């Protein structure tokens, strides 16, 4: 899990750590969660805002895209899911991501 963030992802997801992001892949590969953290300078007064998630169909899957903010961080989240029936669950998953840092 990214430090400072609580994600409702259980052990059934495979975590893939990249240089600047983490991907969580469900066992059946029908849901892929991409998380990246952008850190701001600690002594700036930039206004960081959350963006509500958007959902759209793209080529062969549905995509939820949104951001959350906490402290001096922006969490960028993209969730790819293959079944339209998973839309509500994916929205709830995104809503459950919480900043727990200082």
Say which CATH number the domain at 13 has: 3.40.1000.10
Domain count, the chain: 1
pLDDT tens digits, 28-50: 999 999 999 998 756 544 556 77
pLDDT tens digits, 51-74: 789 999 998 999 999 999 988 899
The DSSP string of 85-99 is GGHHHHHHHHHT-EE
What do you get for the CA distance between the two ends of the chain, in Å?
Answer: 16
Taking the model in full, what pTM does it have? 0.88
Q: 77 is in which domain, residue-wise? A: 5-99
């Amino acid at each position: 899990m990214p430090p400072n963030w609580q994600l409702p992802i259980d052990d059934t997801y495979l975590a893939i750590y990249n240089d600047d992001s983490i991907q969580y892949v469900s066992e059946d590969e029908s849901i892929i969660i991409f998380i990246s953290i952008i850190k701001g300078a600690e002594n700036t007064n930039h206004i960081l805002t959350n963006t509500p998630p958007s959902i759209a169909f793209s080529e062969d899957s549905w995509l939820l895209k949104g951001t959350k903010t906490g402290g001096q961080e922006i969490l960028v989240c993209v969730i790819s899911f293959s079944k339209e029936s998973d839309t509500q669950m994916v929205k709830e998953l995104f809503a459950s991501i919480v900043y727990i840092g200082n």
